[in-house]
Amino acid sequence: MRHFLTALAFWGAIGVTPVAAQDNKVVVELYTSQGCSSCPPADALLHDLAGRSDVIALALHVDYWDYLGWKDNFGRPAFTARQHAYARAANATTVYTPQMVIGGKDHVIGSKAMEIMDRVAQHRNVADLIAITLTRNGDAVLINAQSNAGLLGNLIVQVVRYTPEETVAIKRGENAGKTISYSNIVYRWDSVGRWDGSHPLAITASAAGADPVVVIIQADQHGPILAAAEIR
């Protein structure tokens, strides 16, 4: 935490008041598509999760249903690749939508509300292995973290950006004629560093624009998420 205090002192000396947030929330990733007829209930559930203070809800739109007649303008090949990587980590042979991945570990059909809520509660009851603090200053975010359990292995530090809400009128495909509001639509997911917990972490990453900034610290090879925080 010394690095965090040093940064605050520096910004105070130059007359800048940074915005800081300290948290550790449960990350829920929804793999969804505008072209998937079974996805709207999961999209609505993610909207509800986005309103919770203990959850970081993220919608990752995949592109493999675009051939059905409607191209998802939020879809990214990188998010399809991330879902496939989770499947490999879980020794699963297929991917599907809607799917929620909770804490980087639990894979659940995205419309199964009770099971999802139970898994979120289980993750909230696990002791935090990492204390994480974010400080936003202009177009940058300072990421400070410290392990509560010593060496933690090979971890990936990631910065995620999302659009809080957008409504889409779908004209073709399985959801033709529907107007659907989507929440927390991810458009960037970048790895910004590696860390093993053996020393305090201090990374400055780009965070241009007014959209929220999420930082996720996750075990390598799409393992469990050990820490996550968000700053707006």
Which pLDDT value is given to residue 94? 93
| All residues at 6 or more sequence positions from 15 whose CB lies less than 8 Å from its CB, including other chains | none
232 pLDDT tier (thresholds 50, 70, 90): confident
Distance CA 187, CA 61 (A): 9
Averaged over 197-214, what is the pLDDT?
96
Predicted confidence (pLDDT) at residue 17 exceeds the cutoff of 50: no
pLDDT single digits (tens) 160-186? 999 999 999 999 999 999 999 999 999
Averaged over 195-207, what is the pLDDT?
96
Which pLDDT value is given to residue 84? 98
Percent of the chain with pLDDT over 90: 85
Which pLDDT value is given to residue 23? 63
Predicted confidence (pLDDT) at residue 101 exceeds the cutoff of 90: yes
Phi, psi dihedral angles at 135 (to 5 degrees): -130, 120
**Closest of 122, 101, 98 to residue 110, by C-alpha:** 98
pLDDT single digits (tens) 38-75? 999 999 999 999 999 999 999 999 999 999 999 999 99
Distance CA 177, CA 137 (A): 43
Distance CA 23, CA 46 (A): 20
Contact 174, 59 (CB under 8 A): no
**Closest of 36, 40, 82, 23 to residue 216, by C-alpha:** 23
215 pLDDT tier (thresholds 50, 70, 90): very high
**Which of the two residues, 80 and 20, has the higher pLDDT score?**
80
Distance CA 47, CA 199 (A): 37
Predicted confidence (pLDDT) at residue 2 exceeds the cutoff of 70: no
Which pLDDT value is given to residue 14? 27
Which pLDDT value is given to residue 127? 86
14 CB neighbour count, 10 Å cutoff: 6
Distance CA 206, CA 160 (A): 11
Averaged over 80-92, what is the pLDDT?
97
pTM confidence score: 0.90
Predicted confidence (pLDDT) at residue 22 exceeds the cutoff of 60: no
Which pLDDT value is given to residue 24? 81
pLDDT single digits (tens) 149-163? 999 999 999 999 999
**2-231 topology per CATH:** Glutaredoxin (3.40.30)
Residue 156's region, left for phi above 0, alpha for psi from -120 to 50, else beta, is beta
Residue type, position 126, single letter: V
C-alpha dist (Å) from residue 172 to 40, 71, 94: 15, 9, 26
Q: What is the CA radius of gyration of the chain?
A: 18
Contact 118, 106 (CB under 8 A): no
Predicted confidence (pLDDT) at residue 10 exceeds the cutoff of 70: no
Contact 33, 97 (CB under 8 A): yes
